[in-house]
Amino acid sequence: MESVILLIGTIGGILAIPVGYITAKMTASSQKESKEIEARGPEWESFLEQVRKENDRATERMEEHFGGQIKKLADKVERLEAWKQRMSTKYNLSIAVIARWHRKYPHDDLVKNTPQEIREDLPAYWPRDEPN
């Protein structure tokens, strides 16, 4: 029985040597990688700082170059929208006046010669709208 225990102990000791060696190699390798990463950390920080600065400069240049143009275009759009609203109101009022004219004077030459583009926007003519 003693010889079996001695044999198991010997085999265990023999197997422990390569396992210990592999563990030591892996530990050394991971420590080496950690040191390399730590050593390169400041390099990466410096690189990222340079990228951020260049981004800021590019943003400033774009703002200088396009900022005024964007403001001008926004102002122009605002003016055009206001103009469109005024013209739309005037157009709708004009169509209402023309429609009343059509109802009041259905046989007038002006009514007969109304441009087709305007006729399309006029309300349909109803006989009950005919003046007395």
Query: For 7-53, what is each residue's pLDDT tens digit?
Result: 677 776 676 677 676 777 777 777 777 777 777 778 888 888 999 99
Query: For 41-99, what is each residue's pLDDT tens digit?
Result: 788 888 889 999 999 999 888 888 888 888 899 999 999 999 999 999 999 999 999 88
**Rounded CA gap, 55 and 112, in Å?**
67
pTM: 0.46
Q: Is 126 left (phi over 0), alpha (psi -120 to 50) or beta?
A: beta
* The pLDDT of residue 35: 72
- Radius of gyration in angstroms for the set of CA atoms belonging to the chain, rounded to a whole number: 45
Instruction: State the total domains in the chain.
Output: 1
* The pLDDT of residue 13: 67
**Rounded CA gap, 101 and 110, in Å?**
9
**Rounded CA gap, 97 and 88, in Å?**
14
Domain that holds residue 123: 2-129
* The pLDDT of residue 115: 86
